[in-house]
Chains A and B, each alone.
Chain A
Amino acid sequence: MGTRGYILKKVFQAFLTLLAVIVFNFFLFRILPADPVDILTRGAGAKLDDAEKAELRASYGLDKPLFPGQFMDFMGDTLRGDLGQSIIQRPGEDVTAIFGEFMWPTFLLVGVSTVLSTVIGIFMGIYAGWRRNGKFDLFSMGFSLVLYSMPEFWLGMLLILLFSTTLGWFPSSGRATVGGVYTGTAAVADIVNHLFLPALTLTLAYLGEYYLVMRSSLLDVLGEDYITTARAKGVREKWVLRRHAVRNALLPTITLIALSFGFVLGGAITVEVVFGYKGLGGLTYVALQNRDFPLLQGIFLISSATVIAMNLVADLIYGYFDPRVREA
């Protein structure tokens, strides 16, 4: 099939999965026994009378039959990028517009911590696997196991306790100083200052897992016959590691990193809540408390789409490194 076929296949599959998610999103609210309008307006406080409900129902197209009426409406809207309006939080405002405001801080946070945790975790894992049962291995193993067992938001709280409340080195919340009017480098520095603790939290939270996977994957590979072949040929240990062992050990690691991305997003939500960080996570929390369903639905869609995209990226990277999958 070749490389191009592989890429096309993966992109197509990703698109199909996205469609499935959208359909799933649709049914999520409508299969329930309760009246959708009741659910949609549950958080609104005052009870609506029948007339208002009927009006609301009509505006949401809920008076149309489920299939094809509502379904087509929903699909059409979603594919056009119309995710509805927020009911509670900012009534009437487009969900997509709200996202625009909250997306980049989350991307920044998740991006920075993912890069850091994968890079550090992988390097640590390689080093530990190579020097199995050395002091570094045992220490980092314990360290990673403990990190892996920690709820990330709790870690965040501890870090706030230490670095913010006690030592005063970093702010305890927010993504930028409230009411601050910094420009240029000062603005960037301010953002970094606020980003530091949340990013540290997320990095530490997932570093352990990547370390463990890389280490065990490397140990598996080191037991393979072709490693012995390489050594028998007289290749230096350093190159045996780099050219033969790591290249093969990275493969399952990439897969696992992709698979855990859903958890990373989950972690981002709780961490943003802890740090009062105004990103999508914090938005989700507030939307949850307000039962602002259009917003929640949109968030579900966006996060699913992100995970699908990340999986696609991982698939492509994997395909680059492992020639075997390109054939099938």
Chain B
Amino acid sequence: MSVLSLKDVHITYHTASGGVPAVRGVNLEVAKGEVLGLAGESGCGKSTIAAAILRLLPGTTKVEGSITLDGEDVLAMKPGRLRAVRWTGASIVFQGAMHALNPVQRVGDQIGEAITVHNQAGEREARVRVGALLEQVGLPTRRAMDFPHELSGGQKQRVMIAMALACNPSLVIADEPTTALDVMVQAQVLRLMKELQRDLGLSMVFITHDLSVLVETSDRLAIMYAGKVVEEGSAATVFHDPKHPYTAALAAAFPEIGDRRFRGNPTGLGGDPPDPQEIPSGCPFHPRCSVAFADCERTVPELYPAGEGRRAACLLVEGAKTVATGVSE
């Protein structure tokens, strides 16, 4: 049974200028012990999904579809049950720990709060557990007495990870956990997360815009664009043999040293992601696509089968034609 299951999820923000459809029909599954990588540019809806899983979106946001966590329907939960499930069912490692930690509260207290709020331990035992958690993420236990501003970026992120593990959740959602960090620190934190996931057998949703990171850490990948999933499959195959032009462009934007495809061919992706209130007709990617053709403007592609355990939302796949990856032969 899957730990997390999203079926036909639509999420629309309410703003002064009208409704903004951030997520437009997404289906995702995360099996137990599996790491699902969720990739895409800013504004594609991936962070929205993360927040939606624990119902953390603003009250005026419309969430339709079904979100099931450990077999329970999250959207139907009563407030009391929701609060109990938060952090114990699923927890989030937030991006930008600089702002995700309360500046006037000691970090140990903040981690401990997660434990005591769920009545998993009394004050004293909680403190012991906090110490153990800090050690688990590679921080000395005395750091518990520090305030967030006394820690470096990497240390704060480790605190966030420790906090996320505090209640032994079934699922950990990492929302761009390393984006705001230096490259060296990024590598350390990623290594830590990989170890923890392996040692603890965590199920994870790893959200980022950096595809190369996902290849290292995920079992399966789902690529999002303009509020929809445009490709999914196992991490290695999606990255090295992308079936959707967008995936190809994303992969190409983060060249790997040694991979011959990138030699002498720096490629990026021109243009900007579409404004959610003004999504192009047909395939939303067609204005930026290097292999778009006439039909692309008229037909909205579904997720067509594109190989073993893979799907891609591209008309070229539907026609079983080979996809030009945009890199000259």
Contacts and interface: CB of A to CB of B under 8 A. Distances in A.
Direct contact of A and B (CB under 8 A): yes
Interface of A: 224-226, 228-236, 239, 243-244, 247-248, 251, 321-324, 327
A321 B117 contact: no
Given A225-B94, A327-B149, A327-B150, A235 B117 contact: yes
Interface residues of B, number: 28
A234 B115 CA distance: 10
B76 interface: no
Contacts of A229: 92, 94, 100-102
Contact of B86 (A226, A232, A248, A251): A232
B103 interface: yes
A255 B114 CA distance: 31
Interface of B: 51, 54, 56, 83-88, 91-92, 94, 96, 99-105, 113-114, 117-118, 147, 149-150, 163
A233 B165 CA distance: 11
A234 B88 CA distance: 9
A308 B149 CA distance: 29
A253 to B, nearest CB: 14
Contacts of A251: 104
28 contacts: A224-B99, A225-B100, A226-B103, A228-B56, A230-B113, A231-B56, A231-B86, A232-B87, A232-B91, A233-B86, A233-B87, A233-B117, A233-B163, A234-B85, A234-B86, A234-B87, A236-B117, A244-B102, A244-B105, A247-B104, A247-B105, A248-B103, A248-B104, A322-B103, A322-B104, A323-B104, A323-B149, A324-B149
Contacts of A235: 83, 113, 117
A232 B102 contact: no
A265 to B, nearest CB: 30
A234 B105 CA distance: 17
A234 B149 contact: no
Contacts of B85: 234
B302 to A, nearest CB: 33
Contacts of A321: 104
Nearest to A248: B104
B147 A226 contact: no
Name the 10 nearest CB pairs between A and B, nearest first.
A234-B86, A225-B99, A225-B100, A226-B102, A234-B83, A233-B114, A323-B147, A229-B100, A233-B87, A234-B87
Nearest to A229: B100
A105 to B, nearest CB: 38
B271 to A, nearest CB: 30
Nearest to A227: B102
A236 B96 CA distance: 23
Contacts of B117: 233-236, 239
Nearest to A239: B117
Contacts of B113: 230, 233, 235, 243
A247 B106 CA distance: 13
A205 B210 CA distance: 56
A239 B103 CA distance: 16
A233 B51 CA distance: 12
B92 to A, nearest CB: 5
Given A233-B87, A234-B118, 5 more contacts: A230-B102, A230-B113, A234-B88, A247-B104, A248-B103
A244 B103 CA distance: 9
A248 B105 CA distance: 10
Most buried by A among B51, B54, B86, B102: B102
Nearest to B149: A324
B112 to A, nearest CB: 11
Contacts of A247: 102, 104-105
Given A226-B99, A248-B104, A323-B104, A232 B88 contact: no
B252 to A, nearest CB: 32
Most buried by B among A226, A235, A322: A226
A94 B114 CA distance: 64
A228 B56 CA distance: 7
Contacts of A239: 117
A234 B56 CA distance: 11
Contacts of B87: 232-234
B84 A234 contact: yes
B101 A226 contact: yes
A25 to B, nearest CB: 39
A133 to B, nearest CB: 11
A224 B56 CA distance: 13
Contact of B103 (A233, A243, A324): A324
Contacts of A244: 102, 105
A232 B173 CA distance: 11
B250 to A, nearest CB: 26
Give the most central of A225, A243, A322: most B CB within 10 Å: A225
A228 B57 CA distance: 9
Contacts of A248: 102-104
A45 B318 CA distance: 104
Q: Of residues A224, A233, A322, A327, which shows the largest number of chain B Cβ atoms within 10 Å of its Cβ?
A: A233
Contacts of A243: 105, 113
B86 to A, nearest CB: 4
A229 B105 CA distance: 13
A248 B100 CA distance: 13
A247 B109 CA distance: 15
Nearest to A244: B102
A251 B83 CA distance: 29
A234 B114 contact: yes
